[in-house]
Structure 1
Amino acid sequence: MIHKTCKVLMSGILAFGILLNSAGPALAEEGAGIPDDWPQAPQLMGDAAILMEAGTGTVLYEKNSYERHYPASITKIMTALLALENCSMDEMITFSHNSVYDIDPGCSIIGDIDEGDQLSMEKTMYGMMLNSGNEAAYGIAEHVSGDLPSFAEMMNQRARELGCLDTHFVNANGLHNDDHYTTAYDMALISREALKNEEFRKIVRTVRYTIEPDAYCGEPRYMKNHHKMLPGGDYEYPGCIGGKTGYTLRANQTLVTFARRNGIELICVTLNETSPNQFLDTKALLDYGFDQFQRVDVAEKDTRYLTGQDPGLFPDQLKDAAPFLKLDPSDYVVLPKSADFADTTSDYQMSGNGEDAGTVKYYYGGYPVGSAKVVVDVTEEKYIFPVHAAVSGENQAAGENAADETSKNGESKSEAAEKNLDKKGSQEEKKSHPLHTFFIVIGVILGIAAALFAAAVIRVRILREKRRRQKRRKYKR
């Protein structure tokens, strides 16, 4: 019951959370420059690159990461993401004439696929990500959305949702088009989202895969991952867990690489490289990330937000709720190994996403290094201990003084004392229990939130009606 009550209460807090953001402390500027004592980065040969920590999104290194470049086949990471989000792996793809023949001669393909052939989504995905099959990407696009232009729009919409501001896709495979471009930063954002999917992680770390003979092809088709930093590759890198290669004459070599060590997972993107510099630059950046940075679990280090601590770190509206809040123990920040957690600063932001009670954002020298969600601590003992402890203490004293004595109405004094204390305890519980004040606060918050929401709805309707009238006047003219 307590757990359900807490969820209801937190829903009320979160519904109002977005309105409280303006009342909180000013945030350090997002995207602030790298601190002066940031570890010295290696010199790279490519035109653009980025090193991002996947869990926190912290950018550890960037070089021209917002400049637009042609991505080539690393485009297929977005294609794979949309396929996994919209399809199951056992769906069958029927290849159209365009998917097989409307691709550049001599480009990478799965091979032995003709118009009308069918493959499962699983086999097609492995063919696209390992063998970089361009007909596979085309077939996936048509299967997901019906035609290539519609799929390209899906790609662009998803990119915008992820915060990609300098990306525009026109096809699913990355074959050259002047209007098909991205940035190192945007590709890191797309890759970070793709890594949240376990099926994607499984595919990109696979070194070899075989498409067994079927009704359309009597021979096995062998797929080998083109990424040479995976186990057995020419540039094998300890901790590499996958990635995607790309190449066209206009894009040059492009590369996305994922690696994990000591609880830190890195995403490295390099654009417009000449071979084999894409692998050499990636190795240098990954070494830099693992050698110079550390993971710090904030729930262990930031005692200011521990349950029962001074609620002054939270907004006034949450002071009564503070005893029931804690930092998510799975969240962490990434800091230079030369830095200490005490060197960070933080800001608390209320949230309106319905999943948590806000976020604590952390900064090192004004530079964002990670965040932690504030969640409700629903440990049942927390709610019952303050009241039961007080009542139990009084019961013990009363019991000692009234032992073996009998009242006029036939009750023992200990029984009478127990009844009186139960009644008193019940009254005190209503008055002093933190949840009592908590209920009042939430009631006020919900009332204000409901009023503001109603006002917002009315305003939207008025604006819509105003636009309709303007359009009618325009058409009449």
Structure 2
Amino acid sequence: MSEEFCKVKNRIQKIVLMVVFLLTLTPLPLSAQATISEEPDFPEIKSDYVYMVDLDNNQIMLDEGSEQTIYPASMTKMMTLLVAIENAPALESTMVLGPEVFAGLAEAHASVAGFKPGEEVSVKDLLYGLFLPSGADAAQALALEEAGSEAAFVELMNEKAAALGMSGTHFVNTSGLHDPDHYTTLRDLEKLMRYALENPTFREIFQTRRYTANPSLHPGGLVWESTLFAKLTTGPENEANATITANTSRIVNDSIIGGKTGYTNPAGLCLASIAEKNGTRYLLITAHAPVSNTPYHILDAAHIYDYFYEYYARQTVLTADQILLETKVPFVLFNNKLSLSAGSDIVLNLPKTLDLSTLLIETELDQDLQAPISEGQRLGTVKISRTDTETPTVLKELELVSPRSYKRSALLYGFYQFQQWVKNNTIFFALSVLGLILCLILLRDYRREQRRYQSARKKRRRRPHL
């Protein structure tokens, strides 16, 4: 029996080694700026904060401190104008300006439109008087008329800011007079401008160069020129852009179509503007240029616009049918192929001399890919970046969505779950398999010994007695 036991022991050792080897083959779980201002031809600018986007494809063209807290100065009046328009009665309705409209304005050295106490003025004239000459008197009048007090009107401004997602913004007055608790960011102002420019009345006033109001105590009317366009001229065709002409002291620029200036000593010179040329529209906000008789804020905008219109052009970097990701969806029994594409041509504003092969296109899934997947479900993102600069710059980020639904196979998913259980319970599974094999071997050997014993017994019975 000892010899037989040794044979059984050797067989068990071989089986254990085989089990360990097979366990190692168990399948694993299925898985799933550099800033443009660094470029050699970019103009020298004075503003500390600059933010520029392409209005048509939402591409960020330039970003210098767009999320830094700034004082908006009279750029505040963009929100004042928007809230006044949305809460105003008919534009042709009129009101009489009481002395409370003008209280404290002279002491604060606020800019005014030139209205007089006791004057009857239309809402439309007040809106233009608020924006073009940056009139704090018009701001006060609109606030009193529409909300009862400036404080109540400011509440409406802050409510609107919250509704637009301007999380870094807080207003305390309607005109932008300096207050430490009156602040915003360039990105927040972009949100405001994008929304407000969809309003036809806002857009018309924002782009107006000159306007004549007809309040009751000004028989000849009040003529206002935009604080922005007062410093601009399209100039002769042969005159260089973004220069101040000697005879008019105006900046030559043929692309800026609207904007709002701002100025206080803490805020510096500020400007929010839009430009359009050759079918391309830009939005640009600059802040904290040095306070000076030289309009650095407008010069900066003119230089930046001229630079982009001269050196940049729209180029197709992805076609609608270009495959960005091709894979198989786990746990799908049939037709499990998944192909993701942009869905439409992706056109970006890029340097005219840029080699498109230097662009980096990275596809990243949100999580391990597996069924079930519904049609239109977000699966990840694709990032398009420039790599020809010292610091890679993300130019565009797109969502990747599933073109159709994928149902999960219960059979494949059940097998996967079993694999997971085996992986997470390796020792228990190995011992269970080993124990089962040992039991089978012992049972086999027991039956074999039983047969030998019974066979020997029969032979002894058949042996004749002497």
Name the TM-score, length of structure 1 as normaliser. 0.58
Query: In 2, distance between residues paired with 1:315 and 1:156?
Result: 49
| Deviation sequence 1:390-411 (CA, Å, 0-9, x none) | xxxxxxxxxxxxxxxxxxxxxx
Task: Give 1:369's aligned residue.
Answer: 395
Task: Give 2:267's aligned residue.
Answer: 251
Number of residue-to-residue matches in the alignment: 338
Q: Secondary structure at the match of 2:170?
A: coil
Query: In 2, distance between residues paired with 1:116 and 1:213?
Result: 7
> How far 1:181 moved relative to its partner?
2.0
Alignment map for 1:59-458 (pairs within 5 Å): 59-87=60-88, 90=91, 92=93, 94=95, 95-105=97-107, 106-115=109-118, 117-120=120-123, 122-212=124-214, 214=216, 217-227=218-228, 228-229=231-232, 231=234, 234-273=250-289, 274-275=291-292, 276=294, 277-296=296-315, 301-304=319-322, 327=343, 332-339=347-354, 343=359, 345=361, 362-365=383-386, 367-370=393-396
Q: CA RMSD in A?
A: 4.2
Taking structure 1 as reference, are residues 222 and 67 closer, same or farther at Cα in structure 2, changes over 3 Å only? same
Taking structure 1 as reference, are residues 112 and 160 closer, same or farther at Cα in structure 2, changes over 3 Å only? closer
| Deviation sequence 1:218-243 (CA, Å, 0-9, x none) | 33111111112354781131111011
Deviates more, 1:61-70 or 1:173-182: 61-70
Give the conservation status (yes or no) of the 8 Å contact 1:39–1:292.
no
Query: In 1, distance between residues paired with 2:215 and 2:75?
Result: 28
Taking structure 1 as reference, are residues 57 and 145 closer, same or farther at Cα in structure 2, changes over 3 Å only? farther
Taking structure 1 as reference, are residues 315 and 65 closer, same or farther at Cα in structure 2, changes over 3 Å only? farther
Q: Percent identity at matched positions?
A: 27
Query: In 2, distance between residues paired with 1:36 and 1:222?
Result: 40
Task: Give 1:448's aligned residue.
Answer: none
| Deviation sequence 1:67-99 (CA, Å, 0-9, x none) | 333222111112122233444662635345433
> How far 1:361 moved relative to its partner?
5.9
Taking structure 1 as reference, are residues 249 and 267 closer, same or farther at Cα in structure 2, changes over 3 Å only? same
| Deviation sequence 1:399-440 (CA, Å, 0-9, x none) | xxxxxxxxxxxxxxxxxxxxxxxxxxxxxxxxxxx9xx97x9
Query: In 1, distance between residues paired with 2:197 and 2:330?
Result: 35
Give the conservation status (yes or no) of the 8 Å contact 1:93–1:143.
no
| AA of the residue aligned to 2:54 | E
| Deviation sequence 1:170-191 (CA, Å, 0-9, x none) | 1111122222122333333323
Query: In 1, distance between residues paired with 2:160 and 2:78?
Result: 12
| Deviation sequence 1:307-344 (CA, Å, 0-9, x none) | xx998699999x99x99x98467x74333334466635
Name the TM-score, length of structure 2 as normaliser. 0.59
Give the conservation status (yes or no) of the 8 Å contact 2:129–2:138.
yes
> How far 1:373 moved relative to its partner?
8.6
Query: In 2, distance between residues paired with 1:87 and 1:316?
Result: 59
Give the conservation status (yes or no) of the 8 Å contact 1:213–1:219.
no
Q: Relative contact order: is structure 1 or structure 2 higher (C-alpha 8 Å, sep ≥ 6)?
A: 1
Q: Secondary structure at the match of 1:139?
A: helix
Taking structure 1 as reference, are residues 314 and 110 closer, same or farther at Cα in structure 2, changes over 3 Å only? farther
| Deviation sequence 1:185-215 (CA, Å, 0-9, x none) | 333332333333333232222211111354x
Q: Secondary structure at the match of 2:114?
A: coil
Give the conservation status (yes or no) of the 8 Å contact 2:255–2:305.
no
| Deviation sequence 1:104-143 (CA, Å, 0-9, x none) | 34532221332573312x2222111111111112222334
Query: In 2, distance between residues paired with 1:35 and 1:218?
Result: 53
> How far 1:152 moved relative to its partner?
1.9
| AA of the residue aligned to 1:279 | I
| AA of the residue aligned to 2:175 | N
Give the conservation status (yes or no) of the 8 Å contact 2:320–2:344.
no
Rg larger in 1 or in 2?
Answer: 2
Query: In 1, distance between residues paired with 2:330 and 2:91?
Result: 50
| AA of the residue aligned to 2:303 | A
Query: In 1, distance between residues paired with 2:218 and 2:328?
Result: 65
Q: Secondary structure at the match of 1:303?
A: coil
Query: In 2, distance between residues paired with 1:315 and 1:196?
Result: 45
Q: Secondary structure at the match of 1:52?
A: strand
More helix by share: 1
Give the conservation status (yes or no) of the 8 Å contact 2:53–2:283.
yes
Runs of 5+ consecutive residues of structure 1 not aligned to the other structure: 1-23, 26-32, 351-355, 377-433, 442-477
| Deviation sequence 1:263-296 (CA, Å, 0-9, x none) | 3222222222223222222222222332333334
